[in-house]
A and B are shown apart, each in its own frame.
Chain A
Amino acid sequence: DAEITQSPRHKITETGRQVTLACHQTWNHNNMFWYRQDLGHGLRLIHYSYGVQDTNKGEVSDGYSVSRSNTEDLPLTLESAASSQTSVYFCASSESGIGTEAFFGQGTRLTVV
């Protein structure tokens, strides 16, 4: 069955380090998204992509970057990790078009110490 997987599931890193979270989907979806979830804020959109070589900023993109070199993967990079980026990160993918559902991964819990 097609799926979307995130790795690692848990990570602890130090302030100032660069961190990359992986997201891989096997549905061949054009759209991919990264969200972060914090208590009291629900899920907030970080970056999204409509296809290879396309990336766009979401509402909380500062300190994060993404690249899309193929359809299956959208890695999320924290250039210099900060304690404020301690959160649970979710990746999602969907087909193109507004009437399609998005499928979410199981999340990565990142702690910056």
Chain B
Amino acid sequence: DAKTTQPPSMDCAEGRAANLPCNHSTISGNEYVYWYRQIHSQGPQYIIHGLKNNETNEMASLIITEDRKSSTLILPHATLRDTAVYYCIVRVANTGNQFYFGTGTSLTVIP
């Protein structure tokens, strides 16, 4: 079973920041939080991952709360091409390091 909870859908205006929340209240100390997205029916695309500290790359920023029970993916300037389903995943250490996907958040960027 997925260890994360995400809202099923969100809208964001083009050019604005998109903030996608994720709850992972049962996360263990050595488990990473990963974010992937899936555009239309393509293969999932890696975005970012982190353990404790906030992370930033060319695509997005990942903010993890101090207690690690939740996180937020930030797309700083959303474009129409960012419309996709976004998956927050906790990689489970004690069951073989697998990626267990939930149903994700469907983000729609509105012109």
* Residues in chain A within 8 A of chain B (CB atoms): 31, 33, 35, 40-45, 48, 50, 56, 58-59, 88, 90, 92, 97-99, 101-107, 109
Contact = CB atoms under 8 A, between A and B. Distances in A.
DSSP majority for the B interface?
A: loop
Interface size class of B (residues with CB under 8 A): 20 to 34
A104 B42 CA distance: 9
Contact of B49 (A59, A88, A99, A103): A99
Interface of B: 2, 30-32, 34, 41-46, 49, 51, 87, 91, 93, 96-104
Contacts of B42: 106-107
Contacts of A99: 32, 49, 51
A58 B43 contact: no
A51 B14 CA distance: 44
A58 to B, nearest CB: 7
A33 B44 contact: no
A101 B101 contact: no
A101 B46 contact: yes
